[in-house]
Amino acid sequence: MLRAVLDANVIVSAAISPLGKPAKILQALHADAFDLVISKSILDEIGRVFRYPKIQKRHGWPEAEVREVVSRFRRMALLTPGTLTLQVITQDDSDNRYLECAVEGSADYIVSGDHHLLDLESYEGIEIVNARGFLQVLRGE
């Protein structure tokens, strides 16, 4: 089964725009089209982004719901140990957490809208694609 790391921006976009490409990726996840690989640092980032005032305004969830959504991702994903440290992306160190998670979790893909990650195109055999590109992979295109 394909393994993928989803950037927090993909997950949050899916939650606030249920008709977009990121939402279709989450639908594919729920349909067991791929395995989600995640780390504690990514879960923390997802929670942090959901709590940003402009994002909170879009989804309108109370704090308990934000915690439950993050917990749900933890339960449905393969959790990596989080022991690897990489310094590949110097412009934004937090982007390295996605590379670390992907390497530790033997992921095939990182799905992101972040240009620092997308500019790499791949890392140690792990393809880095945007939401559209990953949907094409899932469709076999």
pLDDT digits (tens, 9 = 90+) for 26-78: 999 999 999 999 999 999 999 999 999 999 999 999 999 999 999 999 999 99
pLDDT for the residue numbered 101: 98
Given a contact cutoff of 8 angstroms between Cβ atoms, the answer to whether 49 and 38 are in contact is no
Distance CA 21, CA 50 (A): 19
What pLDDT is recorded for position 6? 98
pLDDT reported for residue 141: 82
What mean pLDDT do residues 8-16 have?
94
Can you give the pLDDT at residue 25? Answer: 98
b/e map 91-108, b = 16+ CB within 10 Å? eeeebbbbbbbbbbbebb
Superfamily name and number for 3-138: 5'-nuclease (3.40.50.1010)
Task: State what percent of residues in the chain have pLDDT above 90.
Answer: 95
- Measured in whole angstroms, the distance separating CA 84 from the mean position of its chain's CA atoms is 18
CA contacts within 13 A on the Cβ side of 111 = 32
- pLDDT grade, residue 108 (50/70/90)? very high
Mean pLDDT of 107-118: 97
Tell me how crowded residue 25 is: count the other CB atoms within 10 A of its CB. Answer: 25
Structure tokens, 17:
């725009």
Percent of the chain scoring above 70 in pLDDT = 100
The tokens for 7 are: 């950037």
Would you place residue 128 in the very low, low, confident or very high pLDDT band (cuts 50, 70, 90)?
very high
Taking the CA atoms of 86, 103, 73 and 14 in sequence, report the sign of the dihedral they define. positive
Three-state SS for 127? Answer: strand
d(CA 75, CA 126): 23
